[in-house]
Structure 1
Amino acid sequence: MPFTIAEIAAALGIRAEGDTSLSVSAVAEPSQARAYDLALAMKPEFATQLADGRARAAMLWAGADWQALGLSAALLAPRPRYAMSGLSAMMDAGAGYGVGIHPTAVIDPTATLAEGVSVGPFAVIGADAVIGAGSVIGAQVFVGRGARIGQGALLHPGVRIGHDVTIGDRFIAHFGATVGADGFSFVTPEPSAAEKVRETLGDQAGATAQSYARIHSLGGVVIGDDVELGANSCIDRGTVRATQIGNGCKFDNLAQIGHNVVIGNDCLICAQVGIAGSSRIGNNVVLGGQTGVSDNLFIGDNVITGGATKVLSNVPAGRVMLGYPAMKMDTQLDLYRQLRRLPRLIADVAALKKSVSKPDSSD
């Protein structure tokens, strides 16, 4: 940084007009932009705020009349939000983690660190672990025995990677994320109250109080390439076989992925999603915030769930789901509209009952 408008346009593959030699060193919202900022006025309603700032250049939508907006230069993108992905990468100076191996890091002599790996203060890398080239291991990160992490990984401070976990290239894990904790697997000597309730849908007659025995998690976790894990999210290891995450999956903060779960490629798992053990998720699935998926279910490709959806049965490919229990979104919204009409309907029925029980005396 800084970059000229021409350099940005070439890097993003979009059109630049006006004084393309103009330099910018940061991005800003239109009303807050300074003279050396690139204003992000990606919709007409945002562009109206340019007059409140001092930007000379802006990213706009294709065909925008940038001159009428008082700008000296403009970047015109067919899909500005997509162009912002590349732009934000150019403008991101990073967290400033140090290069090389910090003297307080503890690295087992049998671990293998490829060329260009950085390890921050008080990080611990266990026996036989393998870290790919160019990876950054932040402060107080733990990487367990036999874990394998591909090239170009970025593990922010406080990340925990358990033993025998395998992760592909360009993995990003944010603060406090955990991969490879044991699954939540416990069993009682006799069928428990929870098991009886599940079978009978409510009746736990005959169940007795019992202590729980722990089932150890012998499987690992296998994660593909280009996966990003949000802060304080957890992916549990499998009981016998590995929990599996496909390429290109992105997890928001506080997501919980249970043991033996299999997730396909390019899925979006939003904040506070919980997927119970042994469920299978297809490709290109989007699970909205606070979606809950019960255990041993299958969700097909290209399914989308709205926020707070609770999935209690299998979902065919391509469905858009909402509600508790989950049903097709249009059906759920229709039921919600009818629910809102209930008070008026109840009042109408009460009035009808009153008129029938007390007929007009003039009759």
Structure 2
Amino acid sequence: MRHTIAEIARATGLDAVGDGSIAVVGVAEPADCPPDRLAIALKPAFAEQLGQGGARVALLWEGADWQGFGLEAAILAKRPRYALSGVSAAFDPGQGYGPGVHESAVIDPSAKLAPDVAVGPFTMIGAEVEIGAGSVIGPQVFIGRGARIGAGALIHAGARIGAGVTAGDRLIAQFNAVIGSDGFSFVTPEVSGVERARESLGDQGGTEAQSWARIHSLGAVTLGHDVEVGANSSIDRGTVRDTAIGTGTKIDNNVQVGHNVVIGQHCLLCGLVGIGGSTVIGDHSVLGGASGVADNLRIGARVILGGGTIALSNVPEGRVMMGYPAMKMDQNIEVYKGLRRLPRLFRDVAALRKAVSKSSGND
């Protein structure tokens, strides 16, 4: 896969300077970039490493002194990291899934696949499934009865899509993603100790041990267009209505989305996020790595939860939250500063007590 600097610039809508005829076969970091690669130097600190490698061309920021770095050509971008999205797409060779339907795939006769859909080996596609044009279904994938997947989907090896799941166009399901597993819904014949503890803020009320009965998941999962679900992530199906993921939302690896959850459009859920059942997340919200949201909460639009933040109550729209329990970012920072001052405060109090004790002893 070889592209000239001029071709890359035209394809990504960027500006090329210098010798645009120079061709590259891929990208590399500045310090170890060979002559046939495009160095990715998104800011001055990275560009300073260009002299350690053999780069002839680089992706730089707008106004960069590319000649001063000893380059023969450059691609300049107002927002280099955003430009990397298009540049990386130009060089992505994909996973190498082959065209056509592999002979070992098992496809129910009632399934409707567009003529150009590719299906990998040992994949199973159930009854009444519909898959749109241009979709690629990797090896060892399972798609359950009545699932409907739009055009341009990319379902990587080992993914599992349950019965009745509906997805818009350009769904990406990474390796071993599970969409449409049963929700974690159980109930006891009498009021449970957990329910009593929640009502009383800690007292289980002497409740006897009870067995748990499953509440079956009768809903499914609905995903909008351009949704991505990361490796080993799981989205539970709804109890009665569908769990819903909005258009443009991106879900990282090892994320758990509980039953009946509604996630808005263009949200970002980073690795190890957990969302309790029946919670609603507003549009354009970002949940940092290892953050969590308790069940039955309302998180407003444009909310940001910092890494490791645990939301135990509703969050108004536009808030930036940190900590456990979650609080406004500025408040959390003040609390953290206070915690760091505690040892000194304890020493000061001990010194004061000692001084007071001596003073009292002298009276």
* Corresponding letter in the other structure for 1:113: L
Partner of 1:313: 313
Q: Match of 1:146, SS?
A: coil
Task: For 1:267 and 1:226, locate their aligned partners in 2 and report how far apart those are by CA, in whole Å.
Answer: 11
Task: For 2:3 and 2:304, locate their aligned partners in 1 and report how far apart those are by CA, in whole Å.
Answer: 38
Measured at CA, do residues 279 and 361 of structure 1 come closer, stay the same or move farther in structure 2, by a change above 3 Å? closer
Spell out the pairing of 1:207-222 with structure 2 (5 A cutoff). 207-222=207-222
Partner of 2:285: 285
Spell out the pairing of 1:22-171 with structure 2 (5 A cutoff). 22-171=22-171
Task: For 1:51 and 1:25, locate their aligned partners in 2 and report how far apart those are by CA, in whole Å.
Answer: 20
Identity of aligned residues (%): 64
Task: For 2:354 and 2:35, locate their aligned partners in 1 and report how far apart those are by CA, in whole Å.
Answer: 72
Cα deviation per residue 1:310-342 (whole Å; 9 max; x = unaligned)?
101000000000111100011011001011101
Q: Match of 2:152, SS?
A: coil
Normalised TM-score (structure 2): 0.99
Spell out the pairing of 1:255-270 with structure 2 (5 A cutoff). 255-270=255-270
Q: Match of 1:357, SS?
A: helix
* Corresponding letter in the other structure for 2:236: D
What runs of 5+ residues in structure 1 fail to find an aligned partner? Answer: none
Task: For 1:253 and 1:6, locate their aligned partners in 2 and report how far apart those are by CA, in whole Å.
Answer: 36
* Corresponding letter in the other structure for 1:21: S
Cα offset for 1:361?
Answer: 8.1
Q: Match of 1:199, SS?
A: helix
Cα deviation per residue 1:213-241 (whole Å; 9 max; x = unaligned)?
10000011100000000000000000000
Task: For 1:360 and 1:282, locate their aligned partners in 2 and report how far apart those are by CA, in whole Å.
Answer: 61
Cα deviation per residue 1:147-178 (whole Å; 9 max; x = unaligned)?
00000100111000000000010000111100
Cα deviation per residue 1:17-48 (whole Å; 9 max; x = unaligned)?
10011111100000111111000011101011
Cα offset for 1:362?
Answer: 8.2
Task: For 1:192 and 1:222, locate their aligned partners in 2 and report how far apart those are by CA, in whole Å.
Answer: 32
* Corresponding letter in the other structure for 1:56: R
Partner of 2:16: 16
Partner of 1:172: 172
Task: For 1:190 and 1:360, locate their aligned partners in 2 and report how far apart those are by CA, in whole Å.
Answer: 61
Task: For 1:361 and 1:234, locate their aligned partners in 2 and report how far apart those are by CA, in whole Å.
Answer: 67
Partner of 1:197: 197
* Corresponding letter in the other structure for 2:66: W
* Corresponding letter in the other structure for 2:307: G
Q: Match of 1:180, SS?
A: strand
Task: For 1:51 and 1:136, locate their aligned partners in 2 and report how far apart those are by CA, in whole Å.
Answer: 42
Measured at CA, do residues 362 and 194 of structure 1 come closer, stay the same or move farther in structure 2, by a change above 3 Å? closer
Normalised TM-score (structure 1): 0.99
Task: For 2:340 and 2:15, locate their aligned partners in 1 and report how far apart those are by CA, in whole Å.
Answer: 49
Task: For 1:120 and 1:134, locate their aligned partners in 2 and report how far apart those are by CA, in whole Å.
Answer: 14
Task: For 1:86 and 1:175, locate their aligned partners in 2 and report how far apart those are by CA, in whole Å.
Answer: 23
What runs of 5+ residues in structure 2 fail to find an aligned partner? Answer: none
* Corresponding letter in the other structure for 2:359: P
Partner of 1:327: 327
Task: For 1:28 and 1:292, locate their aligned partners in 2 and report how far apart those are by CA, in whole Å.
Answer: 35
Task: For 1:17 and 1:350, locate their aligned partners in 2 and report how far apart those are by CA, in whole Å.
Answer: 67
Task: For 1:223 and 1:27, locate their aligned partners in 2 and report how far apart those are by CA, in whole Å.
Answer: 33
Q: Match of 2:359, SS?
A: coil
Cα offset for 1:360?
Answer: 8.7
Q: Match of 1:59, SS?
A: strand
* Corresponding letter in the other structure for 2:7: E
Cα offset for 1:115?
Answer: 2.3
Cα deviation per residue 1:70-121 (whole Å; 9 max; x = unaligned)?
0000001000000000000000011101110000000000000002100001
* Corresponding letter in the other structure for 2:37: D
Task: For 1:360 and 1:73, locate their aligned partners in 2 and report how far apart those are by CA, in whole Å.
Answer: 81
Q: Match of 1:238, SS?
A: coil
Partner of 1:355: 355
Cα deviation per residue 1:46-76 (whole Å; 9 max; x = unaligned)?
0111111111000000000111110000001
Find runs of 4+ consecutive structure 1 residues off by over 4 angstroms: 360-363
* Corresponding letter in the other structure for 1:20: G
Task: For 1:41 and 1:286, locate their aligned partners in 2 and report how far apart those are by CA, in whole Å.
Answer: 27
Cα offset for 1:206?
Answer: 2.1
Measured at CA, do residues 51 and 190 of structure 1 come closer, stay the same or move farther in structure 2, by a change above 3 Å? same
Number of residue pairs matched?
363
Task: For 2:12 and 2:121, locate their aligned partners in 1 and report how far apart those are by CA, in whole Å.
Answer: 36
Task: For 2:130 and 2:91, locate their aligned partners in 1 and report how far apart those are by CA, in whole Å.
Answer: 31
